[in-house]
Amino acid sequence: AQTVTQSQPEMSVQEAETVTLSCTYDTSESDYYLFWYKQPPSRQMILVIRQEAYKQQNATENRFSVNFQKAAKSFSLKISDSQLGDAAMYFCAYRPNRGYTGTASKLTFGTGTRLQVTL
Amino acid sequence: GAVVSQHPSWVICKSGTSVKIECRSLDFQATTMFWYRQFPKQSLMLMATSNEGSKATYEQGVEKDKFLINHASLTLSTLTVTSAHPEDSSFYICSAGTSGPNTGELFFGEGSRLTVL
């Protein structure tokens, strides 16, 4: 079974600074997707960034970037120039690439990291 | 991105009654939808996978008779909490993926907060 581990229950960063959230996962699959989702107080899940396992290049989305280490099964998220609006719960998630239907395509979440942004 | 809508966003009911939550994919067809439950300050726990036109697949430990799932069309899945009790109070979230070119992404509804008195 796939597992996703986030070892940092809470993190804090000052505004404009950089913070890195850690995530490790375990799988026997070779083709899969990794995601970081943000859940603000509204509790709407928002996709922050996506990484395809077959791509060696790390994904970037504006101030958000990942460090994907496939051999180490590590997928950390770096937030640069942190803003107050970045404060939220961040979930790392894994999904096997077995098509898009059925329970085999389910998303497995880590336990989350609560990010606080201070002035 | 694709839009998934949940209704109601919050509901309060008396113990012993049943509550239905709807999950709709507004601009795409979703062969599969997923239902999650989230307790305060915790992660999302997958309850079941809803498959259009067939029975849902429930995760271990989730009571099928308590949480009835129906996926009658490619754009609608419903979760019915039957004979609700206070311990069923939680935040329920659905998600769905497109059946077109696969980007791997799942799209989430806004969630439904259930409070059972």
Report strand pairing: B107-108 vs B90-96. Answer: antiparallel
Select from A48, A94, A101, A108 the residue whose CB has the most chain B CBs within 10 Å, as the one to mutate to test that interface. Answer: A101
Q: HEC string of A26-66?
A: ECCCCCEEEEEEEECCCCCCEEEEEEECCCCCCCEECCEEE
- The tens digit of pLDDT for each residue in A69-117 reads 999 999 999 999 999 999 999 999 999 887 656 666 788 999 999 999 9
Chain A residue numbers with beta carbons less than 8 Å from the beta carbon of B104 are 33, 35, 50, 52, 95, 97
d(C-alpha B57, C-alpha B50), whole Å: 7
Instruction: Average the pLDDT over A48-75 and give the result.
Output: 95
Task: State the alpha helices, DSSP H only, in B12-85.
Answer: none
First-to-last alpha carbon distance for chain B, in angstroms, is 37
> Across the interface, do A106 and B103 touch by the CB < 8 Å criterion?
no
Look at residue B65 and tell me whether its pLDDT is greater than 70: yes
Distance CA A115, CA B46 (A): 23
What integer is the mean pLDDT of B101-117? 86
Q: Which residue of A has its CA nearest to B51?
A: A102
Q: pLDDT tens, A32-41?
A: 999 999 999 9
Q: Give the whole-angstrom CA distance, residue A87 versus residue A37.
A: 12
